[in-house]
Amino acid sequence: MGSNRELSRVSIDDLAELGAEAIVDQLRALENEKSALSARQARLAFALDLARRAEQADVGMPAEKLGAGVGAEIALARRESPAKGSRLLGLAKALVTEMPRTLAALETGQLDEWRATLLVRETACLSAADRAAVDEELAADAGTFDGAGDRTITAAARAAAYRRDPRTVTERAAHAATERYVSVRPAPDTMCYLTALLPAAQAVAVYAALSRAAVAARNDGDPRNDGDPRTRGQLMADALVDRTTGTPGGISGIGIQLVMTDRTLFQGDSEPARLSGYGIVPAGWARALLTGGTEGPAGDDSGRGIGGGVGKNLSFPVWLRRLYTAPTTGELTAMDSRARIFPAGLRRLIQTRDDTCRTPYCDAPIRHLDHVVPWHTGGPTAATNAAGLCEHCNHTKETPGWSAQPRPGPGRHTLELTTPTGHSYRSTAPPLPGTGPPDGVCRISPTAGTTDSGAKSSRERRRARHRRARALLHGRVEDRTAA
């Protein structure tokens, strides 16, 4: 490792000796090369779509289904999500067939891939002829966008599109309201971005209502607000939670799933936990979520429910569900459930194990539970033959030429996805809390000279902790039942 660092320092020193002017020239040349390679990728994506459509037509696939799965192939090859792959294919088609001047500008480095995407996006509602006319009008090789930023390019393309076909652009704006949605994505430090795409009038109204609520909270004369340290933004965020959940200062009746080790919950261990729908969270934060802001276990009335939450403004019931992992591999092996129907418990186990869509590079939420080997071809209904997928990836997997197989091994659940070209991509379930680094990652012993017997003792201690935790949980249930 030391030699690599020395090599890196020598390389940087050599580059610094080039001088500032030469460095800037190389930065610009590399940026031009990136743009040229993006144009090459667009042409290759278009060629792949043509080839795949021809193959599918030859085997009798209906015309409306031709091209199925091409976006997913592009995504896997470029290490992108399937949704991004579909957008890249759409960009390639538009550039090659309708916007040759924009493609030429991309090849020569006058535009980068993102700004070419902006031009394609803002002209998507136009006919092929009108789009080509806008492409000619805004030709980057004529210096149209020299020194222009993203907003300038977007505004120019939008104005040019409106001049060509004002009616279609207006209808597109009216149709956009049907694409409204709400999404959530993780942010640093156990925070999340809650995003809503709304019609302009409704979005402005929501923001104004939250703003008024924040002002009212400061001016209503309520003595509870005296000395309130919250900022206007914090007050607006709290008002959003209150009005959405219908519970002042908290959440009621909403199920969340927190995965942690017994050591983290009962022994104050620092092993992080995993919050489904978010990701990894600190151990102390996870314990506070279960104990109402205090460290250590809290009592409950049933042996399953634990009251409390994080901070004074969060209070909701939490149910403790036991998860069992193999001591050496970290594979999720069992899960207790109050449900009487086995498939419901199996669904929860798979969703907990996979966390997000199992297609490589896709982080979309799980919508479908899929038989890796289809049930109609003999695939069993078992955790080893199951994978959580998003809706798009599940439909893609059913496209002719695609296949998947579970791959056995000593580590976590693994499956292999094969595309119509024969390229294969492996997907391994994410590590659960307490299972250490993923397979293939070098495990560095904390103590020099650790022997196999030492590793065996560590496994035995881990098994003993699992047994003690299970005994403690069952003991609580028995005590409450007897009382």
Q: What is the pLDDT of residues 174-193, one digit of tens each?
A: 788 888 999 888 888 888 89
Q: Could you tell me if 126 and 164 are in contact, meaning their C-beta atoms sit under 8 angstroms apart?
A: yes
What mean pLDDT do residues 140-152 have? Answer: 84
Q: What is the pLDDT of residue 65?
A: 92
Residue 343 has pLDDT above 70, yes or no: no
The reported pTM is: 0.68
Q: Could you tell me if 103 and 39 are in contact, meaning their C-beta atoms sit under 8 angstroms apart?
A: yes
User: What does the pLDDT look like over 210-242, one tens digit per residue?
Assistant: 999 888 887 765 555 556 788 889 999 999 988
- Provide the pLDDT confidence category of residue 438 given band limits of 50, 70 and 90: very low
d(CA 181, CA 446): 48
* Beta-carbon count within 10 A of 459 CB: 11
Is the pLDDT higher at 378 or at 221? Answer: 378
Residue 375 has pLDDT above 70, yes or no: yes
- Provide the pLDDT confidence category of residue 59 given band limits of 50, 70 and 90: very high
